[in-house]
Amino acid sequence: MKKQLRPTVSTREIYDGIISGEILSLSRAITLTESQKASDQIKADRLLMQLLPRTGNSIRIGITGSPGVGKSTFIEAFGKHLTSLGKKIAVMAIDPSSEKTKGSILGDKTRMAELATDPLAFIRPSATQNSLGGVAEKTRESILLCEAAGFDVILVETVGVGQSETAVRNLVDFFLLLQLAGAGDELQGIKKGIMEMADGVVITKADGENEKKAKLAQVQFQHALHLFQPSDADWRPKVLITSAAQHKGMAEVWKMIEDYKVHTQQNHFFNKNREQQKLIWFHERMESMLRKKIFESGRIASKITLMEQKIKQGQLVPSAAAKELLKLV
Ligand code: GDP
């Protein structure tokens, strides 16, 4: 079957669509940023530059937790709570099926079925390939595009696997950790240093027989959090209990995040943190582009192979080789 070519849409049209809040244009723009094609990347950069003055007006929330902790159920209940308040919410979701099916959109539509049909919500699943716990390389760009399209709250979902937390922490204003009561997660979280990064902890599935355990875990977590130094935000992380299944605790979670925003805006941490994050983004991108440039150059690659041989045979000192190589860049 012959593949149907989509008509080319100009960046002007995409720009106009985004600023009038059109989801189709937003999706197109995100696809452009994710494209590997050089011409698409130029377009995406131009678009982002034009939209930059319209960005920054959302609260960006990272949501992390082990598989099965209840992330998608929580995001759906929390998202519905926010849309009931009239907020437009965008979810950068993990697509659990992406590894098998190479990016199925259906994966997340069924995970968050109710939210997916809400006119105030936009769900963008990201493939987990080549990314940390589901955080796509271009999540930063997606956040800015969603903001330009008028979204008030951006939720970035990630699976709790080591490094991904740091990656998400560098993208968001508020970092929320979901935990199960009595699953032995308490100590694990502390060991990984994840709890130190959290601005808030939510104990999930606090319903039925689990409710008592959840309340106990809340006290334990709050104690554990007191052992940490206050963060740069001068904010004491809170521990809340929720039942997404019964839509309980959502207003409290939102209040905690709003309180955090007020607190950090007053002490100027909010903006300082965002400035810092922009610099981290710049440095990360610069490093990855430099690395790409080095390894994609055939001349340099063959030089590297040659040097590796000499290094192995003890004929060349690695630091001297690295210096010599840099001269070729
Ligand atoms: P994820 O892997 O972290 O996204 O977790 P899911 O949201 O898919 O939830 C995992 C399982 O826990 C599912 O079977 C859910 O139905 C169940 N679950 C999620 N939230 C709740 C809750 O608030 N209460 C109860 N009882 N079960 C829940």
More confident residue, 106 or 238: 238
Rounded-to-integer distance, Cα 124 and Cα 327, Å: 42
Q: For 90-94, what is the mean pLDDT?
A: 89
Q: Atom of ligand 1 at shortest distance to CA of 243?
A: 23
Q: How many residues does the chain have?
A: 329
Q: pTM of this prediction?
A: 0.88
Contacts of 171 (CB under 8 A, 6+ apart): 60, 62, 135, 139, 140, 143, 156, 277
Q: Closest residue (by CA) to atom 17 of ligand 1?
A: 70
Q: Two tokens at 128?
A: 């987990």
Kindly tell me if the per-residue pLDDT of 106 is higher than 80: no
Reported as a single tens digit per residue, the pLDDT across 252-309 is 999 999 999 999 999 999 999 999 999 999 998 899 888 888 888 888 888 999 999 9
Using CB distances shorter than 6 Å, the residues near ligand 1 are 65, 67-73, 204-205, 207, 243-245
In the reported structure, the alpha carbon of residue 68 is separated from the centroid of ligand 1 by a whole-number distance in angstroms of: 6
25-48 tens-digit pLDDT: 999 999 999 888 989 999 999 999
- Confidence bin at 67 (pLDDT 50/70/90): confident
Ordered by where they begin, the domains of the chain are 1-54 (1.20.5.170), 57-267 (3.40.50.300), 278-326 (no CATH)
Summarised one tens digit per residue, pLDDT across range 183-237 is 665 555 555 577 788 999 999 999 999 999 999 999 988 888 888 877 888 999 9
pLDDT above 50 for 98: no
Residue with tokens 């610099």: 279
What's the CA-to-centroid distance between 239 and ligand 1, angstroms? 19
Question: Model confidence over 152-188: pLDDT tens digits?
Answer: 999 999 876 566 677 788 899 999 999 998 766 555 5
Angle ∠(227,202,125) on CA atoms, nearest 5: 125
159 Cα–ligand 1 center, Å: 14
CA-nearest residue for atom 15, ligand 1, is 70
Q: 136 C-alpha vs ligand 1 centroid, how far in Å? A: 24
Compute, in angstroms, the gap from residue 169 CA to the centroid of ligand 1: 24
